[in-house]
A and B are shown apart, each in its own frame.
Chain A
């Protein structure tokens, strides 16, 4: 029975996750302008796409994905997060994306099982 898993397979790989997030955001809101009526659907879709790609990685992780979409109008936005976890196995990745009319910040937290 093969119980050993190599380091790479069970660590949180930030680059891989970051790539998944960027693809999800581009696919959902890539070329669109901010529309209040569609924002609900966009955030849901970004987050669900990220999650389904992450689960396809097949790693023994629990994931938390959050997405904030904000209209550009000169206002400031700050996000901070702090975690109580195991530094050697868990990790997080935040991606900040923008276009002419809105900002989008997606954060993924991966907690090893």
Chain B
């Protein structure tokens, strides 16, 4: 009896994590939820959590099979202060990727980043 190798250990090109598509997902959600919002310290914890959950669900539905996702949302008040956010990763550059988007209005700024890592 011969078996064939069917367990996929590297995604095909069309099944790879596509940053452009994910960035679009993030953009839609963030723009819809945050346009016209003001920074309110009471609401912001709940808002950032629910934004992260929405983004995660939307990316899951986009059909990236076998990918583990990490979604990070940062919302800050705009008061003229300086802010810098940076990230580095130790992963497989062939299969893994990330997408991010920044939204700014008069009273707040929001950075959302989605990291996708292939599960072998």
Binding site for B on A (CB under 8 A): 34, 36, 39-40, 42-44, 47-48, 50-51, 54-55, 61-86, 90, 92, 107, 109, 111, 113
Contact = CB atoms under 8 A, between A and B. Distances in A.
Nearest to B49: A80
A106 to B, nearest CB: 10
A78 B89 contact: no
B88 interface: yes
Nearest to B75: A78
A66 B39 contact: no
A62 B84 contact: no
A62 B118 CA distance: 10
A77 B74 contact: yes
Interface stretch (B11-19, B20-28, B29-37, B65-73): B65-73
A80 B77 contact: no
Contacts of B52: 80-82
B68 A63 contact: no
A76 B39 contact: yes
Contact of B85 (A66, A76, A84, A86): A66
A69 B87 contact: no
A36 B80 CA distance: 12
Contacts of B77: 75-77
B68 A81 contact: no
A90 B68 contact: yes
Contacts of B68: 83-86, 90, 111
A106 B101 CA distance: 19
Contacts of A76: 39, 41, 44, 76-77
Contacts of B48: 78-80
Interface string B80-92: 1111111111111
27 contacts: A42-B84, A63-B91, A64-B87, A64-B89, A64-B98, A66-B72, A68-B74, A70-B81, A70-B83, A71-B81, A72-B81, A73-B81, A75-B76, A77-B83, A79-B48, A79-B72, A79-B73, A80-B45, A80-B49, A80-B52, A80-B73, A81-B70, A82-B49, A82-B55, A83-B71, A84-B70, A111-B70
